[in-house]
Each structure stands twice: as C-alpha cells, then as structure tokens.
Amino acid sequence: MRASTFRRLLNLWPPYLFSGIRVLHVADDWSQARVALRLRPWNRNYVRTQFGGSLFSMTDPFWMLLVMHRLGGDYYVWDKAATIDFVAPGREDVYAEFRLEPAVLDELRAAAAGGEKVLRWFETEVKTAGGAVVARVRKQLYVRLKPKAR
C-alpha cells in the first residue's frame, strides 16, 4: 500500500478519527511520519489537559509501521514493550515526529541476519507547536528475519 493511501485510511480509522488524532504526513519511502493530537472537549482529562491515553495512542503504531515497511516482507516486526513519561500538562494541540534513519535499518538487518530476534528501543517526544515537551514515549520493537529468508 502507498504511504499516502495508508495515511488517509488511518485518519478515517475510528480510534483516531474520534479522538482528535490526525496523521499529517507519511513519507513515500516510509522513512518518517508526523502526527497531531488536537485538544478537544472529548479528549480532555479531568483537569482539562490532554488525556494520557490519547498521547500514547498518537504514537503507538508508527515505529512498527515504519520499520516494517522499510525492512520489507522478509522480517517479522512487532511491538514488544512501551513506556510513556508525562513531562508537562498538554494544554494545547501536540505533535509527534518519527524519523527512521538508514543507519538504524542497517543495524537491524545486521543484528537479525542469522535469524536471531532483535529488540531495539525507539524514542519519540510529544511536543507543542512551540516545541515544549509534553511527553516522552519509548517503544521496543521485536525484529526477526523470517525462516524462508535465512
């Protein structure tokens, strides 16, 4: 599937559509993505700031999707673990950017070349338009070369 088509479909996906999450950009080569979370009455928490679950949801699938598409069909790619550190209250719209560097792909390919499982952490900061950090999200991916490709 083309990245632009995927972006449009993800924006129509009910968990994103109804929570104020908007995928702004997915690079044609799947090397980067940008996501926004609009602060709306239905995604505010009790103290009127961004709901923590929405902050996490806006970042959830992107590292796995970028790595999966960049490595290709010869690899299993799964989310393994995640953490989120709430740094400051989100009192406005927030954004997250994901950039997958070629060196990281080379590292994953080399580590998985013999069929071993590879666990690697990826980090993303959720920021306001002015650059203030609201949350830091870490995702651990499981990567393994499929048996037919070994």
Range with the poorest average pLDDT among 14-18, 66-70, 83-87, 132-136? 14-18
pLDDT for 140 beyond 90: yes
Two tokens, residue 86: 């709430």
pLDDT for 1 beyond 90: no
pTM of the model: 0.93
The whole domain housing 87 covers 3-149
Alpha carbons 102 and 124: distance in angstroms, whole number: 17
In terms of Cα–Cα distance, which of 81, 18, 88 is closest to 47? 88
pLDDT at 150: 87
In terms of Cα–Cα distance, which of 136, 140, 132, 141 is closest to 52? 136
In the chain, how many domains are there?
Answer: 1
Interval 85-120: pLDDT, tens: 999 999 999 999 999 999 999 999 999 999 999 999
In terms of Cα–Cα distance, which of 91, 102, 8, 24 is closest to 58? 24
Tell me what the pLDDT averaged over the chain comes to: 96
Q: Do residues 57 and 20 lie in contact, with contact meaning Cβ atoms separated by under 8 Å?
A: no
